[in-house]
Structure formats: structure tokens, C-alpha cells
Structure 1
Amino acid sequence: MKDILFFITLFLAVQSFSQTTKKSVFVNYIEKPIILDANLNEEVWQNSKGASGFWQYFPLDSIQAKQQATIKFLFDDDNLYVGIKVNALANDFIIPSLRRDFSAGGSDNITLLFDTFNDGTNAFIFGTNPFGIKREMLLSGGGSELRGFTMAWDTKWKCKTAIKEDHYVAEMIIPLSAFKYREGETKWRFNSYQFDTQDNVRNTWVNIPQNQFIFNLAYMGEMIFEKPLGQSKTPVSIIPYVNTITAKDFENDISKTDLKFGGDAKFTIGNSLNLDVTINPDFSQVEVDQQVTNLTRFEISLPERRQFFIENSDLFADFGNNRDSNPFFSRRIGIAQDANGNIIESNIIGGVRLSGKVNNDLRVGLLTMQTAEDIKNEIPTVNNAVITLQQKVFKRSNISVMFINKQATKEYDFLADEDKYNRIIGLDYRLASEDNTWVGKYFLHKSFSQGVKDKNYSVGFSTQYFDRDFNVRLSGVYVGDNYESDLGFLRRTDIFKITPKIERTFWPIESTIQKHSFSITPIFIWKPDLNFKNSDYAVISRWKANFKNTGEFTAEMYNRFTYLFSAFDPTGTDEAIALPIDSSYKYTTVSLGYRSDKRKTLSYQIEPSIGTFFNGEKYSFEANLAWRIQPKFSGSLQINYDKINLPYPYPDASIWLIGPKIDLTFNKSIFWSTFIQYSSQQKNIGVNTRLQWRFAPLSDLFIVYNDNYFSNSFTPRFKSLNLKLTYWLNI
């Protein structure tokens, strides 16, 4: 009996040690650069042990990967060299596109995550697929949220691959200047994840539980460098552009032909701070926004796509509550309201942005941008400035302070006193436990505008616990009636809102369902200035099932209440009778959704819903179809339909949003995409077609054509043709 107890104790001790000991990989120093040929036949590669022993993440997270990958590292004074071998059942790989920065889902690829400051909060990401298509991203927020990805970030590096009968090989050369790190560092945190479509599995080097995202930075091993890293020899990057445009505004009978030039410059201060400068920036090559149907009373936020605002964007954008009280929303810079209340473009004269690490625990962000005056439209010249500091506390948490200032820099007769400036100071604390079981966000912000002295606070809290079986959240936000954020995103003021959630997840042993969950999310909103009158509530009940073939099924029921403090027409019909002020409505919607296996040549996502809507009824149907002829053609079709029936004398409506998109990647350098959007709500048919030739690394020639028509008469609204040349020069 004693012997049995001894062996049980020894077994448990070994198991405990194996689960807590960090995995590590050694990075050898070399004197001579390797040849980039995807052979890995140099002696230095043969002598490198590498990172192996991948774990399966999907469909199970408790066994070793069937098809293993091995990742080897070398470095010299200038570059990090990566050699990768990924085993596979065969060479029948899925490669949907030849375009850079591809999405990982539904394709074969391997991705590397580097936490260079060992803070468990931010990471540089590099990845490739069997065809050698590159992708690089930044990750913030510890990998706890999908929105932590910044896919618009670009940097120069090299990659070559070779496909064999039962595996593929990738060889990378990544300049150390592409990373930010502390001089003298000998260790980075590292992990890797790999998608295998033939085996239908996803694997990770460090074992990650499935209740966490596959890119969560709480679960990482270590890269140990043979000698301390030196000072990064980062070049100065100059990125000039020239853009010629010809445009016709048919609504206002205005024609325009113009030649613009300007550019960006990127500097590195030390090894860890970025200094970005832009003069007369032009964003005409940025992909057009995807339109949405808005049946709410509130503004819709759209993601930032402009390169200048991308790197370290979390330092500026992650304050407050992104849905109800976000004090800084970079898309506000470059737009303004004219004398008639219309939102129009406001030219940016220039800007400077300093961001990054001061040391391993302290990050800093400074931004200032000046927009031009437009006397004709009564738009002043304005300085937009943000200062942020973020200090790491404990293992993975941080505390941040920020100051935001938007201020007219000249006096104007048309400018009211209350519009001369808007300022915000704030304090945020982000909680992230070592294993990411506990996460949270807590903030206090105060705004300053001329003549405003009270009710100018915004306060929020969120505490969330999630393990393999339970996800429990308690959160809320208060926004004072006089709280203003000219550079932020606010849906409305004078609210106190709570959003608790409880979710239970089940893991079937033998089933086509990989996991399924039940959740209830009640959302209640009160108006503090009206004796805490309940203005809205929604109780969301959801069952969600994930299948082993990567498909997904969702059933939802929304029970809603809305009190209207102002008249509102939910159909958006011109000159219609709106639902009256001081009226209240209870309504319920039921929806079913299914997303098919993305690995298939033809995949789809559908979601029909039906129920009551204010004092009437609504039927909706959403669908997205995707088709590929790999690797050069991919197409998609988005369809949204809303049928609203309200009792007389209120209007009925049939609202359509249709958006076909075609993407042709002729090779790794020439891409052509066309996006057509028809919106009956916005009465617009838009065509955006863009030809891109990447003639040198991160250097492009764009030809962009935009065409817009009134959907009810098909008469032209606006047309433009842009020819833009950018060149990335390192000096």
C-alpha cells in the first residue's frame, strides 16, 4: 500500500512539474547570414534543436498534435532567422489567395507570436502559408479579444517556402529592426499556432485551453538568446506619395482635378520607441468601408484602416468602453461638420506620433495632428492631441492615464464659445490574471468644455471570470449628461447601464459537436437625470454549438424594451410619421444562424430572424456566400434584407443591402479587387474597384475608381479616379 501511495504521489508530482515548467527554445548566434532558399540544409540549422512538441488546440486540447511542426531560430546582429518544417498528411493544402495579410481561418498556415518585452500584453506576429504568402500583425490587450489584432501594420521581411510530399518548409529572415525590444535582452516570450485543414486540427506549441483564444499571450514559452541583443540598427523609413485625382460631384455640379503629394517618415528612438511623421497625408488607396443597415437610433462605428494610426493604436484607442464611452476614436480626425450640419472631409495638414516602450513596464503615446480650416464651410483649423502613459502592474495588468485635447487654434466669428475646445482626462485599470482566468476593465474620465461644470464624468467597470465550463461577467457604465468627447465615440449620454452575463459550456465526448454553450445576457439602461427612468432593456438568451468540421450553429432570443424620449422612425422612410415621443414598446425577436465549414470551396453563413419590432413586426434575413478558385480568385456575396411592417399610420419598409465582392490575385505582387454595394436605406449604389501593383517591398502603384449612383433612379451621384504611387525607402 505504501508503494502504491509512493508511485501515485510521484506521478502527481511529475504531472504537476510538467504542467508548470515553461517550454523554451534556444536561439543560436551566427556570424554569417544564411541563404534564403527554404532548404534548411546549412550546418547551423542542423545544429539547432528548435521548438517542437506541439499540442492540439482544436478539436481537443489535451493531446499532442498528430502532425508535428518544428521551428528553429538563429540570429546575428541584424536579423532573426526562422526555419520551419510543418508535417502534413499530404500536400493538398488550402491557399485561398495570394494576397498578403490573409486570414488564418479556413486555410493552411503557421503563425509566430513574439512578446519581446515579456509583459504578456503585446506581441509582434509573423506568419506564412505553404505558398510563402506573408502576414504580419500587432496584438494588444493580452490576446483576450479579437479586436486586439491590428492587421493593417506592415514591415519589411523575407520569406520563402517549399512544398514537399508530406510537409512544407518555410524559411524567414526578419530584421531585428522590425521588432521593438530592450537592448541587452536575452529572453523573449514566444508561441506559435498552426492550422491544418487536411486533418482539420489547430495546434499550438504551448498548450492552450480551448476556453482561451488560440493567440492568448498568457500561455507562452521562452526564446533564450545565446548572447544579449544589441541596439537595433533601425533605418529611417521615408514613404513619399504622389496622387492625381479627377472627380465629379453630380449632386452639387462640381468637378475637380488635383495633384497631391506628401508622405510619411518613420524613425526609431532607441530600440523601443516609434516616431511617425506625416505631411499632407492621403488615404485614397484605403479600402472602402463596408456599409451596414442601421435600424437603431444611434451612430455606427467603423474600424480604422489608415496606416498612420495603426502601430501601438491600443495606447490611444483602448480607453473607456468601446461601445458606449470611447474617449478617442481616430476616425474623428479628418472629418468635420459644415455650416449645414453635414459631415464632410477635413484635410489633415500633418501630424506627429510617438509611441512605444520607455522600459519593460512603461509605455508612452503622444499624438498631435493639425487639420486645415475651411472658411466656406465654417470649419476651423483644429489641433487634435493625445497624451497617454501605461504602466504595467503585477504580472499582466496595467494602469493607464490619458489627456485628450481638441482645440481650434485660431479665432473665428462663426465659432461658438462652447465649440472652441474639448478636453478629457482619464484613468484606466486593465486587469489580467496570469492565466487569464480573471480579466477586467475599470475607468474614470472627466471632460472639460467651456461653460460645463457638472455631469461631465464617465465611469465604467467590468469584471469577468471564465474557465473551461463557466463564463461570468459583471459590468456597467455611467455617462453623464454633459460628458463630451469630440474625438471619441459616444452613442448617447445620461445613461447608467449594466451588462451582466452568465454562460455554461459543455464538452461532449463522442459527438459531431465539439462544444456547445447556453448563455443569458441581460442589459438594462436607466436615465439618471430622469429619476433613473428605465429607458431600455434587452435580455439575450443564446445557445451556440461548434461542430468538429468547424461549422457553427446559433439560436438566439432577444426580449427588448424601448422608451422613446424623442420621435423615431425605425424604417428611415422619407417624410414618414415617426413613432411618437414618450412612448414605450416591448418586442421579441428569435433568430437562427448557421456558418458552414470554411475549408470548402463554397462556404456560407445564414441568419434568418422573425419577431415583433416596436409596435409592429419584422422579418430579417442575412447571408454571406464565399467562393474560391484557389489561389487566384475569391468572391463573396453579402445579402441583408429587413421587412418591417408597422400599423397605420406608420410606414412599412423593405430594406436591402447587397454587396458582391471579387478579389483577383494574379501573383504575389498584382491584385485587383472590386466591391459593389447596393443600399436601399442610403439610396446608393456604389462601385469601388482597386488595382494594386506592389513593385517593390511595401511600395505600391494604386489605380482606384469610385462610382456612386442614386439607387431609385440610377442617376450618377459621384465619380472619382485616383492614380497613387507610394514608395517605401529605407535610409
Structure 2
Amino acid sequence: MCFISFFSYAQESLEAFVKFTTQEINIDGFENEKDWETADEISDFWQWFPTDNLRAEQRTTAKFLVDDVNLYLLVTSYSKSSDYIIPSLRRDYSGAGNDNVTVILDTFMDGTNGFMFGTNPLGVKRESLISNGGNNFEKDFNKSWDVKWETEATQQDGKTVSEIKIPLKSIQYPEGSTQWRMNMYRHDTQTKQWYTWANIPQNQTIAGLAFMGILNFEKPLKKSGKTIALIPYVGGSVQKDFELGEQKNILNYGGDAKLSIGSGMNLDLTINPDFSQVEVDDQVINLTRFEISLPEKRQFFIQNSDLFVNFGDRREAQPFFSRRIGVAKDTTGTTFENKIIAGVRLSGKINNDLRLGFLNMQTAEDPTNQIASNNNTVFTLQKKVLDRSNVSFIFVNRQTTGEPDFEHAQDRFNRVVGADFNLASKSNRWTGRTFIHQSFNPEKSKDAYSTGLSFDYNARVHSVSYNVVRIGDNYKSDLGFIRRTGILKNYFRYTYRIWLKSKNLRSLNFSQSFYYVGRPKDNYLMTDRGNWSDAELSFKNQAKLQLRYSNRYTYLLDSFDPTRSDALVPLEGRTGYNYDDVELSYQSDRSNVFNFNVKSSYGNFYNGTKFSVSSQMNYRVQPYFTASMRFNFDQIRLPAPYASANLILIGPKADVTFNKKLFWGTFFQYSSQSENFGINSRLQWRFSPLSDFYLVYNDNYFVTDTFAPQVRSLTFKLTYWFNK
């Protein structure tokens, strides 16, 4: 218990003093201003990887200054040599495979939401919004968030000096703040170590908000300056549809506006938004019976997105999924873009304990595809309780505007009302959620609810996860993501960790997982059951090796073809299948010039067999060129007359960063399952802060017996950020 208490509560005694300055600080990566000489310095960082009970091998120091407009940070990172790893000059790089230093700010001191700013030895930027305490790098860090700030770095004898300037109006904080919570971490690729200022248990995420120190300001901070930004755009494209024999020349224009309200709220407006510059989604091979959830990449939906999407069960029943707005399906079920006319979003902190989110967007009518014009609204309210927990309310409404002849009366609206309680203990050992949501439609249906409970216990040696969710037969959210209805699902996972005292090995983890899905209205008919046994070996060079044995049972309610090849004879419905497989995976050290991950499995699959191999290989010529190759192969063999198939997905990608303002990325994708080959090539020139010129080439081909062009386009977009 003493060890746990050391991590949980001793961190708040870590303090850094922020001196007020009236001197102009030039961001050039040199410590040449007099106020830096008198600023307080913090050092004595801890290791987080490969162990958490030793001081950092290489020294890191940091100094802070503040004036009425900006927060300044000077970081000196000492190293064995100048042999740094910097794969790319592109903004928002991944921190896992290169040298970098990062500062995390919890300005409202709630341990739930924060801002992350990072840089590397060449002064390349990255920033993220942190939500949910930063417990999960995949879900809780929004890397698409962009704001104006500055950083430069210089490589000097045995060290890198990084200078950062963060405009106070680029972040939110309470007026009159005298303290913020803060932590810093650094990746040193030469020692293969990660360092943190606050000592963080290695079973917790390095950027988690539960373990931080305190920034003490010399005098209370003034109200952050009001941000008023106008971001107009103009764009155009030439598109040719070879299947229809049509060519279109399109000119488009519109824009966004941003306005800060008070100390913690932001108002965003958009008119005729255009997302043509957004990078295309990665294609996937889908062998399941369910829809695939893909991440949101559109900037308008990014900031404070946790206020809208962090409800329900994100795998089974999420009441709001922002990618539903601007996307529709025609009468054949084909997905296509549905024009957004305009939108407004108000989000942020009302005070230290209360957050609000409001989103309203109007989509256009498309009579040709029988798509009605809809008004889409989400309202959320979040109240902090206990140390780091909260109670949240959500209201979602999709309402048809007008009375189109092609729409049925029962489709005129869909609404969801619900409440969630999110638990996060001060030490972050316990996290969890419980929720209940109810949907409403013109047809008043019973059993139109979803409810669930989950908790995670994460200690140094033992971790336990449990999740149960019940989704009623008639629960529906047109703006949400719901894989299936009418189910009761239970999931349990236990992990035992052995921290190894070895020169090359870090840890050995053993896990056992079990899940069960039944249908309460069908006499609790079991439709899915599975258990996994895992062994994972972690190396001190950051490589990982994992072995998994899986046993599954699937009861098909309807006929199903897992190859999605439109087989004449799919697998029969109302039939159960029991199958198992063995999987081996390996992730190499991502700091290597050539690094890769590979995963392979073999075993039974329904009433046949399946052999699978997937890999991603990465190569860099730093810092100007990176190349990757993603490969998936699934060999499915089912007995006649059912469909067998060899499913292939290949995705090579090349990224050229000419400098910190000019980037060119090209992405090729071939999928035998969708019978499509696509090319996406995007040139981006950031000619001014947050102002860009894009040139995007898209080309898609049918790949069946022939290689035939499908749709081809060349698009340009120019955006400029006017701000006060």
C-alpha cells in the first residue's frame, strides 16, 4: 500500500515555479534571453520505460516563463550523441519511434481533460487534446486538433534545446489561475528509455492525467484573450465517372468561424464545409457480420469531441457517432457523401465542474437518392463529481425538415436521451462506466433502450476488466453506431504481469479473456461465445512478441457469407459453429530505420479453415522520406458448396516532407474483397499558420476480370486563417 500511495499522492508535491516576464522571448531554440537565466529550473526526471523505479539515465531540464499573452517553455535534453531519430518533418508525428519531448497541461486541474504539446530535435510540432484522463492512446488523444503555437529547436554539443511558445488564447483555463497541473515526458532513442517528470507506474499510460505535478504562477493569470477567427476556403475539382460517362467541373466555397466565449467555451460555425483534403480511410477486410467503425478525421468535429462521443458502449452501442453526419445510404444501401449546408457547435467548460456541448448541423436533401434534408442535434452536459469522475447527460435528435414524398412517416425523427456515470479514481487504479439510454421514434416501441456497466482495475501486477451491456430489440440511434440489437453481452479479462529483472526483457504478461452474447427475447439463445489465452513478452528495446489461442462459438441467426463474395450458397442461418485458432504476432523496435509488425494465425473457421497473415513494414530516410507497406492475406477454405476465397489487401504509402511546411503523401490501396484499386495523392503547403493549399488526386479502378477506371478526380482547396 505504501508503494501505491507514493505514486498516487506524492506527485502533487512536485512543483515548478513560473516567473512572470515582460521581456520579449524570441523562439529560436537558444537560451539567450536574460529571463531564462533567472527562471526556476526543474530536473530529476524518472524513468517510465523500461522501469519506473530509477532516475533518468540522461538529464532533462525545463524552465517556464509567462506574460499576459503567452506561456513559454525551455527544455534542454541531454544525450549521448547527436544521433537522433527524426523520421519526418510532418506535423503531428507519432512519438513512439523518435526522439521527442512533450508537455501536458491540465489547466482546470480536473484530471480528466488536458492539452498536449510536443516537439523533436528539429522543432517539428505535434499537439493533441486529451480526454477521459488519457487512459487510452487510441481513444483519448485527439491528434487532429490544431492550434497556433510556436516551437524551435537547436542541436548543440551533447544536448538539444527546445523553445516553445503557447498563446494563452489557444487553450482554455479559469481566469485568475494561480496553479495548473503539469507533467512532461521525453523519449530518448539512444538509451531506449522514456522519462517523466512525475513518477508514473509503468502499468499506466505515460501521458495519463492522474500523475502530475503543479505549475505555480508568480501572479494570477489574466483572462485569456478572445479568439475571433475566420477561415474561408475556396476549392474546385474536375471529376470523371467512367461508369456513367459523366464529367463534372465543380467550384466550391465556404468557411468556418471560431469565437472564444469566456474562459473555457468555444463557438464554432461552418457554412458549406468541404472535407476533400481529408486523408482517405484505410480499407479493411471485414470477415465479421457487422459494420466497421472508422475514426473521425474532419477538423470541425474534433475539438472537445469527447463531450459528444464518450457515451454508452463505444463498441456495441454508441448513441452519437459523428461520421453519420454528412454520409448517407441510397435505396440500394450504397454509402455516399451527403452535403452539409451549415453547422454550429458550442463546447467547453462553463466552470471548473461543468462542461457543455451543443452541436447542430443541417444536411441537404437529395431527391435522386431519396435522402431527406435533416437537422441533426446533439446536446450534452457533464458534471464533475468526486476527484476525477463525472455524470453526463446526452440528447441526440435527427429530424427531417420538410415532408418529402419518398420518406415514410416512421422515419421522420429519431431521438436518444441518456445518462452516463464515468468513474476514475485518483490513483487511476479504478475506472469504469455505467449508462442507460432510451430511443424514441414516431412508432412508440417498447424495449428501445441500451444500458451497461463496465469497470477496469489496473494495478502493477494484476488487472481486471469487466463489461456487461444490454441492448433492446428496438433501440435505435440514426446518428449513432450500433452493431446489433436485442442482445445481452458479458466480457471479462484478467491479466497477470511479471516484471522481469533482465538485460533484454522487460515483462511477461499472461491474460485470459471470455465473452458471451445471448438474446434475452429468444430464451437467452447464445449467439456468440469466445475465450482467449494470451502470453505477451515485452523487450527493453520496445519490441513485443505475443502468442494467442482462441476458441469461438457463433450461432448465425441469418445466412452469411464471410467472404462477402455474393456466394450462391452462404452458410446456413439458425446454425451454430465452433472453431478455434492459434495466432503469433511480433512488433519490432519502431526506432529502427526498417521496422515492422507481423501477425499470423491458422485454425478452424465456421465449418472450414482459415490461414491469415498481416504485416506493416516501415522504412525511413530521415527526415525527408518515409515509406510503408500494409499487407493482409486471408485464405478461407469452406467445404463445397460454400464459398472459399483468397482475400488480399495491399496498401503501400509514401510520404515526402520537403520541409516543415510542404508535404506530399501518396497512398495506394488494393482490396480483392471490394474489387477496388485506389490512389490518393495529396500535396499540402502550409504557407501561413493554420493556412493551407491542398492539391489532391484520387483515382479508383474496378478490379475484376479487367482493370477498368471507375472515378477519377483532381481537387484543389485553399484555406486561410484570419484571426484577432
Query: Which range, TM-score by smaller chain?
Result: over 0.9
Correspondence for 1:83 among 67, 74, 79: 74
1:511 is displaced (CA, Å) by: 4.5
- Structure 2 match to 1:310: 302
Q: Which residue of structure 1 lines up, in the alignment, with residue 722 of structure 2?
A: 729
What residue in structure 2 maps to residue 346 of structure 1? 338
Aligned pairs for 1:17-96 (under 5 A) are: 19=10, 22-96=13-87
Partners of 1:473 and 1:244 lie apart in 2 by 49
CA distance in 1: counterparts of 2:373 and 2:565, whole angstroms: 36
Task: Check whether the contact 1:100–1:134 (CA below 8 A) recurs between aligned residues.
Answer: yes
Distance 1:226 1:707 in 2: 57
C-alpha separation between the residues in 2 aligned to 1:176 and 1:398?
Answer: 26
Aligned-partner SS, 1:156: coil
Of 238, 241, 245, the residue aligned with 1:249 is: 241
Partner of 1:8: none
Checking the alignment, whether the CA contact within 8 Å between 2:8 and 2:211 is kept in structure 1 is no
Among 109, 123, 136, which residue is 2:127 paired with?
Answer: 136
Q: In the superposition, relative to structure 1, how do residues 286 and 657 fare at CA in structure 2: closer, same or farther (>3 Å)?
A: same
Q: How far apart, CA to CA, are the structure 2 residues paired with 1:389 and 1:444?
A: 15
Q: What is the alpha-carbon distance in structure 2 between the residues aligned to residue 470 and residue 235 of structure 1?
A: 46
> Is the Cα–Cα contact under 8 Å of residues 33 and 76 in structure 1 kept in the other structure?
no
1:26 aligned partner, one-letter code: F
Using the TM superposition, give the Cα deviation of residue 160 of structure 1 relative to its aligned residue in structure 2, in angstroms.
1.2
Please tell me the residue identity of whatever aligns with 1:83. L
Deviation readout 1:133-188 (Å, 9 max, x if unpaired): 01111010101112101000001111111101210001111100011011011100
- Could you report, residue by residue, the CA deviation over 1:473-522 in whole angstroms, capped at 9, with x for unpaired residues? 22110100000010000110001000011110001112422011111110
Map of 1:550 onto structure 2: 542
Correspondence for 2:321: 329
**Does the CA-based 8 Å contact 1:669-1:695 persist in structure 2?**
yes
- Report which stretch shifted further, 349-358 or 69-78: 69-78
2:710 counterpart letter in structure 1: R
1:429 paired residue number: 421
Secondary structure of 2:680's partner? strand
User: What is the aligned partner in structure 2 of residue 666 from structure 1?
Assistant: 658
Q: Specify the alignment match of 1:625 in structure 2.
A: 617
Q: CA deviation at 1:253?
A: 2.5
Structure 1 residue identity aligned to 2:333:
G
Which letter does structure 1 place at the counterpart of 2:693? L
Deviates more, 1:235-244 or 1:19-28: 19-28
Residue 686 of structure 2 is aligned to residue 717 of structure 1:
no
State the partner residue of 2:277. 285
8 Å Cα contact 1:328-1:488 kept in structure 2: yes
Shift of 1:234: 2.7
Following superposition, the deviation at residue 342 of structure 1 comes to 2.2
Q: CA deviation at 1:466?
A: 1.3
Match of 1:515 in 2: 507
What is the DSSP-based 3-state SS (H/G/I as helix, E as strand, rest coil) of the residue aligned with 1:715?
Answer: strand
Alignment of 1:570-589 (within 5 A): 570-589=562-581
State whether structure 2 residue 445 is matched by structure 1 residue 453. Answer: yes
Paired position in structure 1 for 2:477: 485
SS of the aligned residue for 1:518 comes to strand
Aligned AA for 1:60? T
Matched, 1:185 2:177: yes
Residues 15-65 of structure 1 show CA distances to partners (whole Å, capped at 9, x for unaligned) of: 899946520100111122212222213221111112211000011100110
Q: Does 1:438 align with 2:430?
A: yes
Contact 2:567 2:642 in 1 (8 A): no
Number of residue pairs aligned between Structure 1 and Structure 2: 720
Deviations 1:56-80, CA, capped at 9 Å, x for gaps: 0011100110112111111111111
The residue number in structure 2 matching 1:113 is 104
TM-score normalised by structure 2 residue count: 0.98
Kept in 1, the 8 Å contact 2:7–2:201? The answer is: no
In structure 1, what is the Cα distance between the partners aligned to 2:503 and 2:31?
41
Amino acid corresponding to residue 219 of structure 1 in structure 2:
F
Partners of 2:415 and 2:569 in 1: CA distance: 39
Q: 2:154 pairs with 146, 150, 162, which one?
A: 162
Supply the AA of the counterpart residue of 1:72.
K
Residue 86 of structure 2 corresponds to residue 125 of structure 1: no
Q: Identify the range of structure 1 (19-28 vs 73-82) with the bigger mean alpha-carbon deviation.
A: 19-28
The SS at the match of 2:58 is: coil
Q: Quick one: which amino acid aligns to residue 344 of structure 2?
A: V
2:720 counterpart letter in structure 1: Y
Give the whole-Å Cα distance in 2 for the aligned partners of 1:212 and 1:21: 17
> In 1, distance between residues paired with 2:11 and 2:86?
37
Q: How does 1:620-659 map to 2 (within 5 A)?
A: 620-659=612-651
Counterpart-to-counterpart distance in 1, 2:471 and 2:410: 19
CA 166–16 in structure 1, closer or farther in 2 if over 3 Å, else same: closer
Partner secondary structure for residue 315 of structure 1: helix
Deviations along 1:422-442, one digit per CA (max 9) or x if unpaired, are 000000010000010011011
- Aligned partner (choices 180, 199, 212) of residue 220 of structure 1: 212
**Structure 1 residue 193: Cα displacement:** 0.7
Per-residue deviation, residues 262-281 of structure 1 (Å, max 9, x unmatched): 01111000121000000000
* SS of aligned partner of 2:351: coil
Give the aligned residue type for 2:671.
S
Question: Residues of 2 paired with 1:609 and 1:17: CA distance?
Answer: 40
* Counterpart in the other structure of 2:696: 704
Supply the distance in 2 between the matched residues of 1:604 and 1:148 (Cα, whole angstroms). Answer: 25
What SS is found at the alignment partner of 2:42?
coil
Which residue does 1:599 correspond to in 2?
A: 591
SS of corresponding position for 1:308: helix
In the superposition, the TM-score normalised over structure 1's length comes to: 0.97
Deviates more, 1:63-72 or 1:273-282: 63-72
Query: What is the alpha-carbon distance in structure 1 between the residues aligned to residue 358 and residue 465 of structure 2?
Result: 33
Post-superposition Cα deviations, 1:389-428, rounded to whole Å, max 9, x if no partner, equal 0000010000100100000011111111111000000000
Cα 1:625/1:429, change in 2 over 3 Å: same
Whole-Å separation in 1 of the counterparts to 2:661 and 2:493 = 46
Decide whether the 8 Å contact of 2:561 with 2:567 is kept in 1: no
Contact 1:244/1:260 (8 A) holds in 2? yes
| Alpha-carbon distance change, 362 to 21 in structure 1, aligned in 2, over 3 angstroms | closer
| Percent identity over paired residues | 48
How has the CA–CA distance of structure 1 residues 671 and 527 changed in structure 2, closer, same or farther, with 3 Å as cutoff? same
User: How many angstroms apart in 2 are the aligned matches of 1:340 and 1:255?
Assistant: 23
Aligned residue identity for 1:101: D
For the Cα contact (< 8 Å) 1:569–1:576, is it kept in 2?
no
Q: Is the 8 A contact 1:560 1:587 kept in 2?
A: yes
Q: Distance in 1 between matches of 2:445 and 2:314?
A: 25
Q: Is the 8 A contact 1:268 1:275 kept in 2?
A: yes
RMSD: 1.4
- For 1:396-411, list aligned pairs within 5 A: 396-411=388-403
CA contact (8 A) 1:452 1:482 kept: no
Unaligned runs of 5+ in 2: none
Q: Decide whether the 8 Å contact of 2:153 with 2:160 is kept in 1.
A: yes
Query: Which residue identity is paired with 1:144?
Result: N
CA distance in 1, matches of 2:44, 2:508: 29
Shift of 1:576: 3.0
Output one character per residue of 1:653-705: Cα deviation in whole Å (capped at 9) or x when no partner. Answer: 00000000000001111100000000000000000000111111111110000
Structure 1 residues 50 and 615 mapped into 2: Cα distance closer, same or farther (>3 Å)?
Answer: same
Q: In structure 2, which of residues 149, 158, 166 is the aligned counterpart of residue 174 of structure 1?
A: 166
Distance (Å, rounded) in 2 between the aligned partners of 1:602 and 1:407: 51
